[in-house]
Structure 1
C-alpha cells in the first residue's frame, strides 16, 4: 500500500518536472484521504462505498486503487497518519521539556501524554472514527501491536528495566488510561471541555504514577 509519505529519490536531470509530478500525486492522495475521512465519518467504515469516496474526492477510481488499493488501504492510511502525528507530537513535547531542563521521568511522561491528548482533540474527527471499533480485517491486530509498542516506549521513558515488573505494569495501566481518555477528549462538546478533560487526566496520571 502506498501512503502520502512516499517521495522520490532526489537529484538529477528533470528534478523540477519530477517534483511537479509528485506534488500532483501528493494532492491526489490528500484529496482521497480527505474524502475518505468525510465518508467514513458520515457512514462508518462498513457502510462507506468506494463510489461515494470517488465522487466526493473528484479523483478517479483508478487513482484510488493505484494509491491505496481500495477502501481498507484508505482507512489504514488515515489511521497511520493520525498515529504518526500523535507519536510525533508526544515525542516533540518530551524533547522540549528535556531541553528546558526537566529530567523527572513522570513529568516527561505527562508532557507526552498531554501532547497526545491535544492531538485527539485537534484531529477529533479521525480519533472518533478509530475509537469506534470498526475497520477492515486485521485492524484490531494492528491496533494491539501499536499499543504494545506504545507501552514499551512509555516503559523506557519511565526508566523501567526489562525485568522491572512493577514499572512494566505501571506503563500498561497509564497507557490504557491515556488511550481511553483520548476517546473522551475527541467526543468533548467544545475546546474548553476537551482541555478540562485533558488537564484532569494529567492530574490522575500523576497520582497513579507517584
Structure 2
C-alpha cells in the first residue's frame, strides 16, 4: 500500500484562485463526497461518479486526492479573503477588526458544508499544519489593526492564542447552525468576548 500523500503549504498566491466550470464541478462533488464518506474512505472514483468528470480530468486539474482536498481549502480561502478585503476597505480603522471578524464568520456560514469538511478530524496528513498556519496568518493581520500592544509578528502570544480559540469555536458553532437567524447571536457573542479581551 503506498504511503499517504501529504499536502504541502502554499504561498498566499493561491494555485486554484480561479477555476473553470469543470474544476468547480469537481470541487463541489469532492466536498459532497468528503462530507458524506470522510476523506480517508472516499476515493477519486467516488468523485468521478459524483462529478461526472473523467478520472483523467481530475488528475489533470488537481493531481491526487490530497491535492483535491487542498484545492477545496484554497477555494474557500479565496472567498474568505475577498469578503474580508471588501469589508476592510470599507470599514473605518477602529471598526476594521470587528468588520473582518464578522466577514470571516459570514464566509464560514455561506461555505458551511466546505467548512465542515475542512474542520473535520479526517483530513490528509499535513493539512492540520496548513489550517493552523493560515489561521495564524489571518490573526497576525487582524492584530496589526488593533492597538493592544502585541507586535503583528507575535503569533505565539497568549492573547493571540485565546483570540484564535474564540475564532475557532465561533466558526464551529456557525457551521452547526441550521438557520441564518441562529448565526447573528453567535457572531455578536464572539465579538462581545473579543472586545472584553482586548479592551
TM-score when normalising by structure 1: 0.79
Matches within 5 A, 1:72-91: 72-91=66-85
2:126 corresponds to: 138
Counterpart contact for 1:151–1:172, Cα < 8 Å: no
Q: Per the alignment, do residues 169 and 87 of structure 1 end up closer, same or farther by CA in structure 2, a change over 3 Å counting?
A: farther
Larger relative contact order (C-alpha < 8 A, sep ≥ 6)?
A: 2
Aligned residue runs from structure 1 range 99-114, under 5 A: 102-104=92-94, 107-114=95-102
Moved more, 83-92 or 152-161: 152-161
- Aligned-pair RMSD on alpha carbons? 2.4
Tell me which structure has the larger Cα radius of gyration.
Answer: 1
- Higher helix fraction (1 or 2): 1
Distance 1:39 1:72 in 2: 14
Counterparts in 2 of 1:207 and 1:43: CA distance versus 1, 3 Å: same
Task: Report the 3-state secondary structure (helix = DSSP H, G, I; strand = E; otherwise coil) of the residue aligned with 1:46.
Answer: coil
Superposition pairs of residues 128-207 of structure 1, within 5 angstroms? 128-159=116-147, 160=149, 162=151, 168-207=157-196
Distance 2:56 2:16 in 1: 17
Aligned length: 185
Q: TM-score, normalised by structure 2?
A: 0.83
Displacement of 1:87 in angstroms is: 2.3
Residues 104-131 of structure 1 deviation map (CA, whole Å, 9 limit, x = unaligned): 2xx3211110110011111110111111
Q: Which runs of 5+ in 1 are unaligned?
A: 7-24
Runs of 4+ in 1 over 6 A off after TM superposition: none
| 149 and 103 in structure 1: CA distance in 2 versus 1, 3 angstrom threshold | closer
Task: Report how far residue 38 of structure 1 moved.
Answer: 0.9
Distance 1:164-1:5 versus aligned 2 partners, 3 A rule: closer
What is the deviation of 1:151? 2.5
- Alignment check: 8 A CA contact 2:140 2:153 kept: no
Alignment of 1:58-97 (within 5 A): 58-97=52-91
Q: Partner of 1:47: helix, strand, or coil? A: coil
Contact 1:3 1:68 survives alignment (8 Å): no
Matched residue, 1:127 = 115
- CA gap 1:68/1:174 in 2 versus in 1, 3 angstroms: same
- Matched ranges for 1:22-41 at <5 A: 26-41=20-35
